[in-house]
Structure 1
Amino acid sequence: MVARLELKLKCREALSYQMASLFHGVLMELLPEEYADELHYSQLHPYTQHLECREDVWYWVVCALNEQAVKTILKDALWDVKQIVLKKKQILIEICGKQYEEMPYKQFMEHFYHEEHGRYLQIQFVSPTAFKQRGNYVFFPDLHCLFQSLMNKYDAAAGDHIMLDEETLEQLCANAQIVRYDLKSVSFSLEGVRIPSFIGKITIRMNGTKTMAGFANMLIEFGTFSGVGIKTSLGMGYIRQIKERG
């Protein structure tokens, strides 16, 4: 199961997506110490979180990628929270609304096998996104990095569904082409380091079989919960799928 909890924020001080790492600190303090330690040492985290502004209102969006994370993070730790404090900046934030959505893993598979999928995939990179390859930052939407990241995250979260296969990955990349983009280069500050990254939109055209297009659609749908690329637990890499063709 994956799930998403959106918390609507009310605050007198100005917020920014760069503060997501401070919200991560708040989250760790709300969790049981043993579970927080387990997450700290985990290579692939079973959750993502980021900040986003929609129509001048800020939201803290936290996603959980397995049943334990759904229960411990979303339902036990965050569900009844009324306010939080960013101690480093002494900012008090009220929670004035929430919206919750969950989806079992079998539903991703059902969408893959039983739905008709278009040839065009539109992705909005909502929070700063970057990849890391051979020790270097990749701050543009490289399709190999994109699909590889999503397949890795799916395997880490789902556990018993092994998706990352080099041949499948190469076929995805060979049949995918970016045909439109509207991107902006940005940086994401984290512990004194400015990570080069990007935000914006791309449109991918899928060639090849309908199965390949469906598989790509399923990965992107999962990515709206898992995020993509690096530092997704600290506020980077959140994506949204735009269904209609632009």
Structure 2
Amino acid sequence: MLTQYRVELIPDQPCHSRPEWAYRLYAALLELAPASFGELVHEMRISPVSQYLDRREGRLLWTITLLGQQAESVLGPLLQEQKPIGLEKDRVLLRPVLREVDHIADPEELFARSAGTGFHHLEVRTAAGFKSRGQYQILPTSRLILQSLVKKWNGCVPECPIEDEDGEGVDALAAGLVCRRFQLRDRIYFLKGSAIPGFVGTLTMENRLSGFQRELTDALMTFSGYAGIGIKTSLGMGGVEQRRESSL
């Protein structure tokens, strides 16, 4: 179903990395894949790759999630090979070292991992944003978060779709997902000559739903740590770390 790789990138010289490097890393990864796969990804409405780049304790970490069997079978072996990646514009060569691999085989395993959680802490590591009615939105709401996750889920997990043709399903889930804490700040993501507005920071969400709606919302919150939230997650935006908490 999905596999997440966490790769440390070691530069061949001192450099000032930026989250926007993720877009070029993604392009370099696709160049290593068969041309037919690259063409397929560009044609897909929902990308089967979510990835982002950030620094932690002085280390440059690239987190890549492959969503679906096809992406796993094509790109997984390339990430395992750990070939150096050159960024010509910045004149730096990055040596990848694979640090972690996390695999979820099917929706049942994702639901099992999510069971029994009431609070979800989301740490938004790279600028996240949403688009609604043609306009960028930089203030997250439960509905915007869940809407983006359902869209990604249905695009990448077709064997277990979430029915929401009229939007009422997302509305029902959002009504029971309450933001209890947040610490956010605005952040611009520079992509292909455009400055895209977004935000980074932390959110703590409480799931007050019951029954299957509660289980599904917990699973979607867990899914956010793999798929990211908002727009352009394949290009480095909306990178999220999610953890479960029993209480505030």
TM-score normalised by length of structure 1: 0.92
SS at match of 2:237: coil
User: Is contact 2:185–2:201 with CA below 8 Å preserved after alignment?
Assistant: yes
Q: Report the equivalent of 1:188.
A: 189
**Aligned-pair distance for 1:111?**
4.0
- 102-111 or 84-93: which moved more? 102-111
The reply on whether 1:155 has 2:157 as its aligned counterpart is: no
**Aligned-pair distance for 1:84?**
0.8
In the alignment, residue 88 of structure 1 is paired with which amino acid?
K
Q: What does residue range 145-224 of structure 1 map to in structure 2 within 5 Å?
A: 145-165=144-164, 166-224=167-225
Once the two structures are superposed, residues 93-144 of structure 1 have per-residue CA deviations (whole angstroms, 9 ceiling, x without a partner) of: 11234321111122123346xx3222x2211111110011110001121211
| Cα distance between partner residues in 1 of 2:89 and 2:163 | 40
Once the two structures are superposed, residues 56-100 of structure 1 have per-residue CA deviations (whole angstroms, 9 ceiling, x without a partner) of: 10111111011111110122x221123110122221111234321
| Cα distance between partner residues in 2 of 1:63 and 1:35 | 16
Quickly say closer, same or farther: Cα 1:164–1:200, change in 2 above 3 A: farther
> Which consecutive unaligned segments of at least 5 residues does structure 2 have?
none
Quickly say closer, same or farther: Cα 1:43–1:138, change in 2 above 3 A: same
Once the two structures are superposed, residues 180-209 of structure 1 have per-residue CA deviations (whole angstroms, 9 ceiling, x without a partner) of: 100010000001100000011111222232
Percent of pairs identical after alignment? 25
User: Is contact 1:62–1:74 with CA below 8 Å preserved after alignment?
Assistant: no
**Aligned-pair distance for 1:27?**
1.2
Quickly say closer, same or farther: Cα 1:40–1:208, change in 2 above 3 A: closer
| Cα distance between partner residues in 2 of 1:155 and 1:141 | 21
What is the aligned length? Answer: 242
Once the two structures are superposed, residues 152-206 of structure 1 have per-residue CA deviations (whole angstroms, 9 ceiling, x without a partner) of: 1111111121214233211111112212100010000001100000011111222
- Report the aligned-residue RMSD: 1.6
Q: Report the equivalent of 1:142.
A: 141
SS at match of 1:243: strand
In the alignment, residue 158 of structure 2 is paired with which amino acid?
G
User: Is contact 1:84–1:92 with CA below 8 Å preserved after alignment?
Assistant: yes
The one of 16, 20, 39 equivalent to 2:22 is 20
| Cα distance between partner residues in 1 of 2:89 and 2:41 | 22
Q: Report the equivalent of 1:93.
A: 94
**Aligned-pair distance for 1:210?**
4.8
> Which consecutive unaligned segments of at least 5 residues does structure 1 have?
none
| Cα distance between partner residues in 1 of 2:134 and 2:217 | 27
